[in-house]
């Protein structure tokens, strides 16, 4: 089976929040929970970058390691999901996750915050596929429909990629090696595809 992963290309992200809106709309996520959110670094200054963050479905997921009731599990596609019927809302996964993916659905004292909620890679949960109960607890199961997560499909610049890890890794590698940033990376010959419009010394051909 394929190993499903997310990759967010910070060079393409335009901070439109289309991914977060698509996630909320697709799964009717409760108010106060953001299964996917946008993080901006160096906001308003040169070098500003934005990146879309959610559960990264880790190979060695810390949420699984700390859960006292073992409510987390992996699908055949290596997607990390959790069983809300087993979850006791202790919050250990919340503190263990470096991405802040597991969240309480509501504010309040311990025991009143409810079951933990997190990104499902649009793969539903342990209930029967397409059942009312599955949608109520986990949202739409787009993976069972043969589709990709709504956040990635909605991304207008294709900054957010989702799917088979080997495939999206190849896509990202091609992007990085062919972006062309002048001499600082791969040189103008690569950037302009061998065009003779610009010489190696960055001066127009035929001029000193």
In the chain, where are the structural domains located?
Answer: 4-200
pLDDT at 202 over 50: no
What's the mean pLDDT when you consider all of the chain?
85
Task: Judge contact between 194 and 187, C-beta under 8 A.
Answer: no
Q: Which pLDDT value is given to residue 183?
A: 47
Q: Select the more confidently predicted residue: 44 or 189.
A: 44
If pLDDT is split at 50, 70 and 90, which confidence band does 197 have?
very low
pLDDT at 196 over 80: no
- Compute and round to an integer the Cα radius of gyration of the chain: 21
**For the ranges 23-37, 77-91, 99-113, 177-191, which has the lowest average pLDDT?**
177-191
Q: Which pLDDT value is given to residue 45?
A: 86
**For the ranges 48-57, 62-71, 169-178, 199-208, which has the lowest average pLDDT?**
199-208
Pairing of strands 160-164, 80-82: unpaired
pLDDT at 184 over 60: no
Q: Percent of the chain, pLDDT > 70?
A: 83
pLDDT at 19 over 80: yes
Q: Which CATH number fits domain 4-200: 3.30.70.20, 3.30.1330.50, 3.40.50.300, 3.40.50.2300?
A: 3.30.70.20
Q: Which pLDDT value is given to residue 181?
A: 54
DSSP string, the chain: ---EEEEE-TTT-----HHHHHHHHHHTPPTT--SSEEEEESTTSTT-EEEEE-----TT-HHHHH-TT--EEE-TT--EEE-TTT-----HHHHH-TT--SB-SS-SSTTSS-S-B---TTB--SSPTT-HHHHHHH--BTTTTT---HHHHH-TT--EEEEEHHHHHHHHHHHHHHS-BTBTTT-HHHHTTT-TTB-TTSSBTT--
């Amino acid at each position: 089976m394929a190993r499903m992963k997310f990759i967010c290309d910070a060079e393409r992200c335009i901070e439109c929040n289309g991914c977060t809106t698509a996630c909320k709309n697709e799964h009717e996520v409760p108010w106060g929970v953001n299964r996917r959110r946008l993080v901006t670094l160096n906001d308003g200054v040169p070098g500003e970058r934005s990146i879309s963050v959610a559960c990264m479905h880790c190979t060695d997921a810390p949420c699984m390691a700390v859960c006292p009731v073992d409510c987390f599990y992996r699908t055949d596609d290596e997607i990390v999901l959790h069983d809300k019927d087993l979850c006791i809302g202790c919050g250990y996964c919340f503190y263990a996750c470096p991405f802040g993916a597991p969240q309480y659905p509501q504010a309040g004292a311990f025991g009143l915050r409810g079951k933990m909620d997190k990104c499902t890679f649009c793969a539903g949960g342990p209930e029967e596929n397409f059942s009312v109960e599955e949608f109520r607890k986990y949202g739409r199961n787009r993976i069972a429909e043969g589709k990709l997560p709504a956040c990635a499909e909605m991304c207008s610049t294709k900054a957010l990629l989702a799917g088979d890890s080997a495939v999206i890794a190849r896509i990202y590698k091609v992007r990085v090696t062919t972006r062309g940033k002048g001499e600082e990376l791969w040189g103008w010959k690569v950037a302009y595809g061998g065009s003779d419009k610009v010489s190696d010394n960055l001066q127009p051909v035929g001029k000193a």
